[in-house]
Structure 1
Amino acid sequence: MPEITEITTLEQGAKLTSILDINNTSTVQALSLLRIGVFIPIKRVKLKNGLDRPVLKSDVSDEFRKLEFARTEGFENVMITGPALNFETDFRVWCGVIRAFNTYGYNSAKITFSFQEFAKSCGFTSKQLDERLRKRIHDALVRIRGQVMEFTKPQVSKSYIGGLLASGGFDAASDTIELVADPKLWELYSIDHQVLLKLNVLSKLNRYETAQCLYAYLSALPQNPAPVSFARLRDRLCLTSSVKEQNRAIKKALDKLKSIGFLLGDIVRKDGENYLILHSLSQKLALKKD
């Protein structure tokens, strides 16, 4: 191994819990979705100025060919295309979708239930439940519905086109929401092969979307992972600034995760690249007050 020329210690960590206890403060997420660039940091100023979100097209074959549906049908190539999804709203709404399908089971691809219950599952409070929030949730459902997943065999001898959500909508008058899952992709909604995330941690990281993204990504890694290069983190974050600025943003995000007690690890530098060596992660945090 090349000589380490720089080392930074990240303190405050504990053992990663393996118990998946989904409730109003926790969400379980498919590991595959957390490891790829679907939910990414998007600067608030960009959205405030009305600039379009980037449309991302990613090769997710390595993760999604493991799905039972893909294995059974022999699909080897999987692409996902759609507008970039953020953590502030889109990920919260996706958490609500996951919880809904886990709560109401898999007897039918379509479920209808209370919109207030759904908003609560997304981590929103009853005080936030107004017309503005309903529009945020509506727009997030549009973007989630816009994620197109293409499964193909070599030379496209067979294909399937699906998505994260088949359809969704709500009725304010009856206070109900209707969600329809993609029947071929139930594994994305089931608890198997998923990881626990704490909604209060995401709330604690509000407006720190780079830290939120890294929190989700690192939580999805196997225990005792090999050193994670900053190149891998830059690829996951899909940032567009210079490498120097991206590295600075990553270090700042890791410091934030350290400050809330999520991780213990070191940043080392070798061959001109930074690497994150994880010692431990903690999902059960005694969150500190700012």
Structure 2
Amino acid sequence: MTITTPTKPPFLAIAASKKGGTGKTHLMATVADFLTLNGYPFTAFQADDKKRLATLIGAKVIDLRPDPDRVMHDPALVRRSFTPLYTAASKATSTGQSVLFDIGADEVENAANFLKEVEIDEDLLTWKLPAFVFVLVQAETDAIASAAETIRRFRAAMPSARIVLVENLLDRGALEGLRTSGPARQQYEKDLKPLLAGVERIAMPAILSDFWEPYENAGLRFLKALAMEPQDAAKRLGMEVGDVKIARRAIAVFFQDMHHSLSRLIALPKGGAS
């Protein structure tokens, strides 16, 4: 896989896929924690009816989904609802705050259309603000088709952005392991693979929901969960100490692997920000 020169904060980072359940929110939470660990600030946005990002990162997340009842009377509100994202991006280089945007499956088209209509790619060059578009995919037919459509939309809207294909290895494994004669492999070869020239690729290691759900349900961000003593976490989560240790180790391995991959994309000086 090709990884070019790492990008320094601040930056605009978008996680997107037109298929739900591919790991967009976990990926964006990991980017947020990666910045936090190194002392870099960020502003987070989400356009998703599930609104899970705030729980995972333990910080305020600005919700960009418009009120459906208001949209019925004012359809243009769908586009205008993304304006706070544009405003934050325009200030990022002066404030030093990266801008993180987690897009739900149903909002990918609206978000990409907005970014294209405001010609944000020209502005990014003017602002000298680098941008990532993380496209999540799993090794199954619908997710592959959705990833291809997402790449096409954001490549048209933000041609200067670094597009990163993130393979979520949960359940399905790697794309390269697809059965040669299977429909998912055919979809990959026909629809997604031709788009991957110039696209960087990283893998998101599998982590079972049994390991992270107790922490999320308790409103504990993963960084805090890793720092807690097993006995304290067991009381907080209502779990046995042994089970907490297993879960915590699984989460630690996940973050270690993801942080290694992200460090090849994002340049963070040793010791964090000054």
TM-score by length of 2: 0.29
**Larger RCO (alpha carbons 8 Å, 6+ apart):** 1
Structure with bigger strand share is 1
